[in-house]
Structure 1
């Protein structure tokens, strides 16, 4: 059964990858702007001080405008730092730093292992965590890229903070919303998914 679910996940990841590759830059930009506006007007975002957020790849909802807004109003920003087995959420000091951080083999900017920075789980935790994914359901289930970084991070976070998790928000293109996904007991359900739902005619795959 586990092997079957994993095969379904891998097939779905490839389908979503192909769908996103057919989206033009303009459409990605429009949807990203809409989702970003939904987020920065969200009550949980406005109330939050410590925010975890990803630095976007080309096929993810773009977070550049969100990062700019965070720094402009004094939010504390934490971004993923990946290694071979796990990830941590590390303090980012300024928006401009995004262009100077070294990049991983996946082309993701992140602080180096030897840089002395605040680790969110070693200090006050996070108020909200903004999460990317390959596919989502409206109810909050998420399909990641297959490495399990976020699920493992959230498991460690739970242990550290006595079962408490930050409020978790997924960001998605309309084309990433599915009616259901293949899931297992280790898949962490998110609290909310923000996506471009302006057009009822947008087909959900």
Structure 2
């Protein structure tokens, strides 16, 4: 169970970084996001993957993933995006988006983030949890703050940590975890507080390059 001290540390760091992000202009975010997309595209696990999950961005304040999402669809890779389960607290599913027209038709859902409906044209969308779905090769993960030890501070709801744990526990292959981070989200010296159920990343991709396990 997460301790009150750990909760307090996370809350404090989340406030600090979130406040810093409000100072960024849309141009800053777009410029960094384009550079991040190029770095993701050059990452070997991404180049080799066939099935990738990528979150769709909040309206402001974080990496704009539209460049990466467009690249995934154009490359012929299978794209899956998150959908919050409003009936089950803390649960998130990851559903297939089939093409650019499908992507552009997604309605805004939780926190204004576009989410797929569970069905499309009268048929259920494919979920990464379906028995006939190929394993996810890569999950591109959002967050508030990251450090050079590949630790991640999320938004505080625990959706990704729970999903990854349940996905791996189902016996499926563990996906490569790739965090996307603006320059201001990567801590120079401070350490992200981590609990026992928090997942560390395999890579952190920022506008200036990639942090990997060997860099620690």
Query: TM-score scaled to structure 1, two decimals?
Result: 0.91
Query: Equivalent residues in 2 for 1:157-196 (5 A)?
Result: 157-161=167-171, 164-178=173-187, 179=189, 180-196=191-207
How far is 1:176 from its partner? 0.4
User: Residue 37 in 1 paired to residue 44 in 2?
Assistant: no
2:156 corresponds, among 146, 152, 163, to 146
Greater mean alpha carbon deviation, residues 99-108 or residues 129-138:
99-108
Contact in 2 for aligned 1:67/1:95 (Cα 8 Å): no
Structure 1 match to 2:214: none
Q: 1:103 aligns with which of 104, 108, 111?
A: 108
1:135 is aligned to 2:145:
yes
Counterpart of 1:60 in structure 2 is: 62
Compute the displacement of 1:97 (Å).
2.6
Which stretch shifts more, 96-105 or 144-153? 96-105
Deviates more, 1:108-117 or 1:45-54: 108-117
Q: Figure out how many residues of one structure are paired with residues of the other and give that number.
A: 197
Q: Which residue of 2 aligns with 1:24?
A: 25
Aligned mates of 2:70, 2:110 — CA distance in 1: 25
Q: Aligned with 1:153: secondary structure?
A: helix
CA contact (8 A) 2:35 2:208 kept: no
8 Å Cα contact 1:141-1:181 kept in structure 2: yes
CA apart distance, 1:70: 1.1
Aligned equivalents of 2:171, 2:135: Cα separation in 1:
8
Gaps of 5+ in 2: 210-216
Aligned to 1:203: none
Q: Which runs of 5+ in 1 are unaligned?
A: 199-205
Residues 119-156 of structure 1, C-alpha deviations (whole Å, 9 max, x = no match) = 11222220000001000112211000000000000111
Cα distance between partner residues in 2 of 1:126 and 1:74: 15
- 2: CA distance, partners of 1:56 / 1:98: 13
1:2-21 map, 5 Å:
2-21=3-22
Q: Write the distance in 2 (CA, Å) between the matches of 1:121 and 1:52.
A: 12
Q: TM-score, normalised by structure 2?
A: 0.86
Q: Are the counterparts in 2 of residues 172 and 194 from structure 1 also a CA contact under 8 Å?
A: yes
